[in-house]
């Protein structure tokens, strides 16, 4: 696919994050034109002012034409409004456009009523900073576009391909994961505040600790347990703090939280 038009249907948090990461990058084949679809003129004008002549915007009934002109469509809508929006712009769909869906819970089977070429994706908000994660599953007809999709999503950080049966768990782990990490970051910072460290300093320290720890896991390839043991000295501060956290069920609560979020993700795609 060359010289193609990319239409983003729904330019909220995730749709805009993907747009930002693509605009900041170069890959082949690169979109020739970007069309950003919103629900109202105010949102369209705000996008146009922000991105200037890099994009074209549309809203309301003009979204039908924006979809009709698209070779590739990114669905950045909320799951609960997607059906009504897709039904509204249905006249612009030809059944063969490549649809890249960022919708939580919506299966490839359900999306296939709009096109035979579906890439179901779960990504996250760090994508806007180029350090996001994207997990992708493809319909059979969409596999011909696998290179394009992986290159495009790779601009957000890292993209991997997994079977669709794993997608609800990835919605929780990848999509909701930043919020889980932020809860832990906030808790660490507040513990430091309780011990007298100013909040801004505590927040910066906690954020850097999480960033460095993640990098350590990625670059060494070691199991987190092995790296954790390296920090624990006999009778030291780290093991003392870890035992309190284990006594309070922190590990289990996080794991069950991921499990519960995946269950909710599965329910979002059901009518």
pLDDT tens digits, one per residue of 217-244: 999 999 999 999 999 999 999 999 999 9
| Least reliable range by pLDDT among 102-111, 131-140, 168-177, 217-226 | 102-111
* Per-chain mean pLDDT for the chain: 93
Higher-confidence residue: 12 or 179?
179
For the chain, percent of residues with pLDDT exceeding 70: 99
Q: How many CA atoms lie within 13 A of 271 on its CB side?
A: 6
Distance CA 125, CA 179 (A): 10
Contact in structure between 59 and 45 (CB atoms under 8 Å): no
User: What pLDDT score does 12 carry?
Assistant: 82
User: What pLDDT score does 128 carry?
Assistant: 82
Mean pLDDT (whole number) for 14-38: 90
Judge residue 33's burial from the number of C-beta atoms within 10 Å of its C-beta, 0-12 exposed, 13-18 middle, 19 or more buried: middle
Higher-confidence residue: 81 or 255?
255
User: What pLDDT score does 271 carry?
Assistant: 56
**Local structure of residue 91 (DSSP, 8 states):** G
Q: pLDDT category, 266, cuts 50, 70, 90? A: confident
Residue 212 has pLDDT above 70, yes or no: yes
User: What pLDDT score does 50 carry?
Assistant: 92
SS3 230: helix
96-105 pLDDT, tens digit per residue, is 999 999 988 8
Higher-confidence residue: 269 or 70?
70
User: What pLDDT score does 82 carry?
Assistant: 87
186-200 pLDDT, tens digit per residue, is 999 999 999 999 999
Helices (H), 70-176: 79-88, 108-111, 146-154, 167-170
- Highest mean pLDDT: which of 26-35, 97-106, 242-251? 242-251
Residue 248 has pLDDT above 90, yes or no: yes
Mean pLDDT (whole number) for 72-82: 89
Q: pLDDT category, 185, cuts 50, 70, 90? A: very high
Full-model pTM: 0.86
């Amino acid at each position: 696919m060359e010289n193609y038009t990319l239409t983003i249907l729904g330019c909220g948090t995730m749709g805009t994050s993907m747009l930002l990461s693509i605009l900041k990058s170069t890959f082949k084949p690169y979109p020739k034109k970007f069309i950003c679809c919103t629900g109202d003129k105010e949102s369209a004008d705000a996008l146009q002012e922000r991105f200037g002549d890099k994009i074209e915007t549309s809203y309301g009934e003009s979204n039908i034409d924006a979809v009709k002109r698209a070779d590739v469509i990114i669905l950045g809508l909320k799951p609960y409004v997607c059906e009504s929006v897709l039904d509204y712009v249905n006249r612009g769909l030809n059944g063969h456009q490549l649809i890249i869906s960022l919708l939580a819970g919506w299966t490839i089977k359900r999306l296939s009523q709009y096109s035979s070429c579906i890439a179901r994706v779960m990504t996250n908000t760090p994508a806007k900073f180029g350090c996001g994660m994207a997990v992708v599953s493809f319909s059979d007809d969409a596999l011909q576009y696998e290179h394009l999709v992986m290159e495009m999503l790779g601009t957000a950080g890292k993209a991997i391909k997994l079977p669709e049966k794993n997608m609800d768990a990835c919605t929780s782990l990848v999509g909701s994961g930043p919020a889980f990490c932020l809860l832990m970051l906030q808790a660490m910072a507040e513990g430091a505040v309780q011990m007298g460290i100013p909040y801004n300093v505590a927040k910066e320290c906690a954020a850097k600790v999480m960033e460095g720890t993640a990098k350590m896991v990625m670059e060494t390839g070691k199991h987190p347990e092995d790296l954790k043991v390296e920090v624990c000295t006999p009778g030291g501060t780290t093991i003392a703090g870890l035992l309190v956290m284990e006594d309070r069920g922190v590990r289990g609560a996080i794991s069950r939280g991921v499990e519960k979020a995946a269950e909710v993700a599965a329910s979002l795609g059901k009518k």
